[in-house]
Amino acid sequence: MCLRAVANNTIRRRVAILLCATGVLAPSQTESLKGVVFSDHSGEGPHRTGVLQLAVGNEVHDLVYDEPVPRRFRNNVCWDIRAIWSVVVRRLDSGWEISNVSCAGQVEEDAHGSWLVARDYLQTAGSQTSPSSLLSLRWRSSASFKDYAAKIEDLDLSNYRLHGRPGRCVDVLQIARPDRTQLRAGGGCFLRISGKAVDLLFSVVRNTQTGHWEIDEIKIE
């Protein structure tokens, strides 16, 4: 059996999640999936609608949900991107949506570590706590970093701190190697430079000497 997701670009419309088996709709009304959370975007309010990306094996599936969703979380790590979730999806007239979620507090270690660095950077940028320790020495000594530092002098994080749900708006885009990850702080992070909405594209690498993850470049898009 395979799970195929057909997603709309906006979270305001329900995503049709189709379960298929050799091209025929499965008769079951519910399915259980276990995978790694790639992203989780939702609107505002107690009855908001959201879209969750769940990586199951080599596939990433878009699943929708309407709050409130029953969640059985062992600890706060379960709220992080790259946490391992077990979800039950149920069929409605309009498609398939998440019925409930459970998490035992496990994460995909490498990608979770790189996500934490991007999250911590956004939490400390523009504050008295310098994020320089999160940046690689190679990038800090490069000409591209000087250009970046000049451009972000007007970085506005006020809406991020209000609505960004610390870091959950940062998506994992690609794990190129075990020691390099690409992440994006997109529209859900509400980042602005000189009044203009921007995305930040993070390239995060593992320092081979310390074993710690470091930001090796940030591009403004």
Q: Are residues 22 and 118 in the same domain?
A: no
Q: Are residues 96 and 22 in the same domain?
A: yes
The two structure tokens encoding residue 63: 């699943």
Q: Are residues 133 and 212 in the same domain?
A: yes
Question: pLDDT per residue over 78-98, tens digit each?
Answer: 999 999 999 998 877 765 689
Q: Are residues 21 and 123 in the same domain?
A: no
What is the extent of the structural domain holding 46?
Answer: 2-103
The CATH number for 59's domain is: 2.40.50.140
Question: pLDDT per residue over 134-181, tens digit each?
Answer: 999 999 999 999 999 999 988 999 998 888 777 889 998 887 767 899
Structural domain count, the chain = 2
Of the three residues 103, 135, 160, the one that is the final residue of a domain is 103
The CATH number for 176's domain is: 3.10.450
Task: For residue 112, give every residue at least 6 positions away whose Cβ sits within 8 Å of its Cβ, in sequence order, or none.
Answer: 80, 81, 82, 83
pTM (predicted TM-score)? 0.78
Q: Are residues 188 and 150 in the same domain?
A: yes
Question: pLDDT per residue over 17-63, tens digit each?
Answer: 333 322 333 445 888 999 999 889 887 767 778 889 999 888 887 89
Q: Are residues 78 and 125 in the same domain?
A: no
CA torsion through residues 106, 112, 115, 121, sign: positive
2-6 sheet: strands from edge to edge:
2-6, 16-21, 24-25
